[in-house]
Structure formats: C-alpha cells, structure tokens
C-alpha cells in the first residue's frame, strides 16, 4: 500500500508547511483541557501547533498539528486511502479504528491504534483532513500520542478540532 508521501511524489505534488495567520491559510484550532501546555513553535519548525501534558517518567503525552499547502489540486479520496499505511508499518501495530468519512464536510481519514517503540507501548489517534480554501488545498494532520493506557488522554480529544476557511 502507498503512503501519503509516496502518493504525493507520484502525483508530482509538493506540500509546504503553513503558518497560523498566514493569508489564505485555514484557521485550525483545537480546544484542549487546561492541563495541556502549548510548546513554543520554534522547538518544532514546520508544525502549526504542538501541545503536551506535563512529562512523567521521561514521556509526555502530546498533540501535534500540521497544516500543509498542496502545490496543486489533489484527488482527496485517493490520497486519504493512503492514510493508514504509515500507521500499519509501526512496530507491533494494533489497529482499533481505520475510517474514511467527512469531517466538518471535508474529506477525512481517521486512524487509531497502539504500537510499541523500544520500552514504550503507545496509543495514537491521527486525523487527516483535506481542506479546500480560496487560496488552494491543504492537508490538516493532527496526531495525539500517549502511553498505551492513555489514562490522561480522552479518546475523543480530537473532537475539539475546528477548521475555518477564509
């Protein structure tokens, strides 16, 4: 199965990171409980936003939001069929949800599962959304990564995602 990056390469489509507040860029927000702290964007160049819970035992549950502008129009449904490939390649991947359905009237894919990385067992929830705006098409990707028990992270955390176009 093809990854999103492979799909874009084959279609000769580049994706450039978008900055919050840039003209024409969709306004993407996520409402998180108050214990989540924003990380300075300079720490994660290219990220639209990053938030973490306070670290515990050398690990911090985190939310990473990426917004990228496509260099030309993309076949959203074909692209989103590739959304699960990267997750399925993770070590000891156990899929819980793999779904392609609209999110806020935009084409979207949602994947939830667990995997192991060295001594950590992690739970991950990623939503991909293809957004058509007046200035072009964008890929919004938001990923929550937590310890596998995800006791500090609500499974519905991404329900607070809001996308507005200008």
Domain presence at residue 62: yes
Residue 138 domain flag: yes
| Per-residue pLDDT at 149 | 86
Q: Is residue 29 in some structural domain?
A: yes
Please give the Cα distance from 166 to 132 (Å, whole number): 10
pLDDT recorded at residue 114: 95
Which domain, by its residues, includes 23?
Answer: 4-155
Local structure of 131: helix, strand or coil: strand
Tally the domains of the chain.
Answer: 1
Q: What pLDDT sits at residue 81? A: 93
Q: Give the mean pLDDT per block of 10 residues along the chain (166 residues).
A: 94 96 94 93 93 91 96 96 93 95 95 92 96 95 92 83 91
Rounded distance between C-alpha atoms, residue 13 and residue 136, angstroms? 13
Residue 161 belongs to some domain of the structure: no
- Contact by Cβ (8 Å): 64, 36: no
- The answer to the question of residue 47 being in a domain is yes
Residue 20 lies in a domain: yes
Q: What is the CATH number of the domain that holds 78?
A: 3.40.1000.10
The one-character DSSP state at 154 is: -
Cα gap 116→70, rounded to integer Å: 32
- Say what the pTM is: 0.94
pLDDT on residue 159? 87
């Amino acid at each position: 199965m093809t990854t999103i990056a492979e799909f874009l390469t084959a279609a000769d489509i580049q994706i450039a990171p978008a900055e919050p507040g840039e003209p024409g860029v969709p306004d993407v927000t996520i409402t998180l409980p108050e214990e989540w702290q924003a990380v300075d964007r300079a720490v994660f160049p290219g990220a639209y936003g990053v938030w973490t819970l306070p670290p515990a035992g050398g690990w911090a549950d985190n939310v990473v939001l990426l917004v990228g502008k496509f260099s030309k129009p993309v076949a959203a449904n074909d692209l989103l069929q590739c959304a699960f490939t990267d997750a399925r390649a993770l070590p000891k991947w156990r899929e819980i949800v793999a779904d392609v359905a609209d999110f806020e009237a935009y084409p979207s894919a949602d994947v939830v599962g667990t995997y192991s990385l060295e001594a950590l067992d992690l739970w991950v929830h990623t939503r991909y959304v293809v957004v058509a705006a007046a200035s072009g098409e964008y890929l919004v990707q938001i990923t929550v990564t937590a310890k596998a028990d995800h006791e500090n992270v609500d499974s519905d955390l991404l329900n607070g995602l809001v996308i507005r176009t200008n």
